[in-house]
Amino acid sequence: MPNIPKGIIYMGIAVVSGLLATFGIQRYVAHKTYVAPVSTGQVAVATADISPGIALAAGSVKIVSWPRELVPPQSASALQQVEGRVAVMQISTGEPVLFSKLAPLGTEAGLSGLLDANKRALAVRVDDVSGVAGFVHPRDKVDVLVDMKIHDMNDSFSKTILQNITVLTIGQTWEQKENKPIVVNTVTLEVTPEQAEILNLASSEGKIRLALRSRRNETIVETRGVATSQLFTGVVKKQESPKVQPQKEERTVEVIKGLERTKTTL
């Protein structure tokens, strides 16, 4: 065996130790930073806002990969499943397309395709207050109230005139006021022909308000309505204390007749 200088031996040991340390550090870092592959699934998402009554097309929907555990139930996974289907609810940009937001197969595009065979669509004008401040959405259920003046009386009357009515769409229109265009909020309701007559008259004679209902409650409650004068029924007026009449001061005169003295009241 050749005589190897000790410096070379020490250098070789240092190189081997460095290689082993580097390999160990790489294995440790790789173990700590290891990310298990995530199982993914295909989801159809909207590429633009889709309003109720609009038929979905290839340009309005795209397929993306989502982690499988985040894929919503009842979501479409292919363009063929949704192309040509009509939306019954608003679908926002980037939102997964759910089958629950689509009309049955064969439904024609447009609002008429969403209507029941025996129903009508009637739009009513609302504001942020009467329209429940933007909390009403398509397919919600609402009650309709009207507030109007009573003829020949200085009184107003409020009454629930329709109950459990389906909201079809929420929209805006332009109207001219003082030669200036203004935005007017509208809500389109699904009603029967008789309900359409009631709603049309109420909207022209008084002010319409919507009351949002729970979708789990379809109970019809008969109400009597209320007048302004009835709001204060039972309020007791403050009774005035009876006035005390001041007592008149009595005056007496002493009359002396001889030895007799008498008093006379005036």
Alpha-carbon distance of 84 to 265, in angstroms, equals: 112
The pLDDT, as a whole number, for residue 241 is: 53
The pLDDT, as a whole number, for residue 179 is: 59
Burial 91-125 (b: 16+ CB within 10 A, else e): beeeebbbeebbbeeebebebeebeeeebbbbbbe
Q: For residue range 86-95, what is the model confidence (pLDDT) as tens digits?
A: 988 888 899 9
Calculate what percentage of the chain has a pLDDT beyond 90. Answer: 23
- Look at the chain and count its residues: 266
Alpha-carbon distance of 124 to 185, in angstroms, equals: 9
The pLDDT, as a whole number, for residue 236 is: 47
Range with the largest mean pLDDT of 30-44, 115-129, 187-201: 187-201
Per-domain boundaries in the chain: 1-34, 40-108, 115-230
Lookup: tokens for 36? 């298990």
Q: For residue range 130-178, what is the model confidence (pLDDT) as tens digits?
A: 566 567 888 889 999 999 888 777 888 899 999 999 988 887 655 555 5
Q: Does 219 score more than 80 pLDDT?
A: yes
DSSP lists the bridge partners of residue 218 as none
The pLDDT, as a whole number, for residue 130 is: 59
Q: Which is more confidently placed, 262 or 86?
A: 86
The pLDDT, as a whole number, for residue 75 is: 92
Q: Residue 7 phi/psi, 5° resolution?
A: -65, -35
Q: Does 100 score more than 80 pLDDT?
A: yes
255: confidence class by pLDDT, cuts 50, 70, 90: low
Q: Residue 263 phi/psi, 5° resolution?
A: -115, 135
Tell me the CATH architecture of domain 40-108: Alpha-Beta Complex (3.90)
The pLDDT, as a whole number, for residue 172 is: 63
The pLDDT, as a whole number, for residue 65 is: 92
Average pLDDT, the chain: 80
